[in-house]
Amino acid sequence: MYRSLAETRQALQSGKTNIVELTRTYLQSIQEHSHLNAFLEVFTEDALRQAAMADQKRQAGNPGKLSGMVIGLKDNLCYKGHKVSASSKILEGFTSLYSATVVERLIAEDAVIIGRLNCDEFAMGSSNENSAFGNVQHPLDKALVPGGSSGGSAVAVAAGLCLAALGTDTGGSIRQPASFCGVVGLKPTYGRVSRWGCIAYASSFDQIGPITNNVDDSALILEVIAGQDEYDSTLSTVPVQEYSQNLAFKGKTKIAYLKDCLESEGLDPAIRASMEALFDKLRAEGHIVEPVNFPYLDYVIPAYYVLTTAEASSNLSRYDGIHFGYRSKRAIDLETTYKYSRTEGFGKEVKRRIMLGTFVLSAGYYDAYYSKAQKVRRLIREQTLATLKEYSFIIGPTTPGTAFPFGAHANDPVKMYLEDIYTVQANLAGIPAISLPAIKHPSGLPSGVQLMSAPFSETELLSFARYLSALN
Ligand code: GLN
């Protein structure tokens, strides 16, 4: 199986294969790995039709930028005429009426969309155990979680079921599973990529981004999906650069690491040691790597969960048993339609978050929780941006540990929430961040390095990420 678009292109150019044949190979691989439960649905016919068209365009001498790339979509991205469920029973039977902007842009550049990928219900989770359609297995060990919420996306790429996938990242859902599965996951700057057609979880956090085997493919996908869209007013007017053409990193740079993260109790000592070794390596290459203080580490998770659940409780109120998908058979009037459809349609974690969100927004508690969390968010953003004025990048581990066993946090949601301790900062601050499989863990399991950078500095972030990947 080819592990990059460059390799794929070479094979296509030499005439060794064509896109239809490639697509068939992936379809076969999906079948052979069905035990991983990464795909909720495979779009066999449509994928083969798109592949045939892409082959024709190649032959005619005008291939799109993504010609030869076979991509999977996280099941919270709409694709016209295809089912989408956010891995929830409440969207049972629902078919997308239009395509997400990102999907349209991928197809316009000749990508083949191969299917929809399992995830945590409504993208809420860090282990993919919250899907209504079963767990996704880690490709290296069936007892381990793949991470979440874009677990199916990370597994599909790691196991060679597609060349790349799209995920969404509200608090780490692209980077954390990428870290657990040993692939590259990029969360772009807030406002870089349109969310039109993405099923909303927490709208002031959500971003769509690629999961790939390498930085080059990530850069190319970002270049294709980024940029203004009349359907998403949060998008920035900052021009999209040709990320894939500007990946050469030169010179020496200044990198910060957050002392509080490296010293935090929950961090696996082996990851800490590998990070320190990596800092030394970077210093030996002539870069400055220095500790900085980040006194808000204890507040990132509480602030994140107050704000995202508040937003989720509003976003998910549209699932009422009337407008979309599932309606309870027990419904006899308006109230029972709402009540039973939601009771039966939503899973436990989603219900927990809707309740928490309505609580923090309720009249008597709004100021104590929601307003307070907004202020904390502001402090976190300001402190993070101040660090990024002095340093080009913030480096650290993506996750405090490697992939954990199924059920490990089953009775303790707060423990599960702490899995996101290093990733939510980028979402709270709205900055871009990438996870790379750039350190080795003694267990042999993958473990990611996270880089964060200033808003809209994806060119610098990607070029440095590529340099760092090659350093090992
Ligand atoms: N694990 C985090 C959560 O459960 C992040 C989810 C995400 O980024 N979509 O909210």
* Digit-coded pLDDT (tens) for 308-340: 999 999 999 999 999 999 999 999 999 999 999
Which of the following is catalytic: 67, 74, 88, 127? 74
414 vs 29: CA distance, rounded Å: 37
Q: How does DSSP assign 77-90, residue by residue?
A: B--TTSB--TT-GG
Indicate yes or no: pTM above 0.85.
yes
**Residue 24, CA distances (Å) to 31, 75, 113 in order:** 11, 22, 13
State yes or no: cis peptide before 34, omega within 30 of 0. no
Q: pLDDT tens digit string along 148-193?
A: 999 999 999 999 999 999 999 999 999 999 999 999 999 999 999 9
Q: Are 243 and 220 in contact (CB under 8 A)?
A: yes
Q: Are 47 and 91 in contact (CB under 8 A)?
A: no
Q: What is the pLDDT of residue 432?
A: 99
What mean pLDDT is predicted for residues 196-221? 98
183 vs 148: CA distance, rounded Å: 13
Strand intervals (E) in 201-315? 207-212, 254-258, 288-292
The pLDDT-based confidence of 415 (bands split at 50, 70, 90) is confident
Q: What is the pLDDT of residue 221?
A: 98
| Residue in 202, 166, 204 with CA at minimum distance from that of residue 75 | 166
340 lines ligand 1 (CB under 6 A): no
Structural domains in the chain, sorted by start? 5-245 (3.90.1300.10), 301-367 (no CATH)
Separation of 281 CA from ligand 1 center, angstroms? 32
Active site residue 80: no
Which tokens belong to 112? 């083949």
Of 218-227, 334-343, 368-377, 412-421, the poorest mean pLDDT is in 412-421
Active site residue 244: no
Q: Which residues of 15-54 are buried (b: 16+ CB within 10 A; e: fewer)?
A: eeebbbebbbebbeebeebeebbbbbbbbeebbbebbeeb
| Residue in 441, 449, 464 with CA at minimum distance from that of residue 261 | 449
Separation of 433 CA from ligand 1 center, angstroms? 15
329 vs 115: CA distance, rounded Å: 30
The pLDDT-based confidence of 262 (bands split at 50, 70, 90) is very high
Q: What is the pLDDT of residue 367?
A: 92
Which of the following is catalytic: 67, 127, 131, 173? 173
The distance of Cα 218 from the centroid of its chain, to the nearest Å, equals 12
- By most ligand atoms within 8 Å of CB, the mutation choice from 87, 308, 415 for ligand 1 is 308
Rg of the chain, C-alpha, whole Å: 21
Active site residue 204: no
Q: Are 224 and 65 in contact (CB under 8 A)?
A: yes
Which tokens belong to 305? 């969960």
- Which residues, in sequence order, are bridge partners of residue 397? 449
Q: How does DSSP assign 214-234, residue by residue?
A: SHHHHHHHHHHHBS--TT-TT
88 lines ligand 1 (CB under 6 A): no
| Residue in 245, 199, 11, 185 with CA at minimum distance from that of residue 90 | 199
User: Beta strand 288-292 with 446-452: parallel, antiparallel or unpaired?
Assistant: unpaired
What is the amino acid identity at position 344? E
436 three-state secondary structure: strand
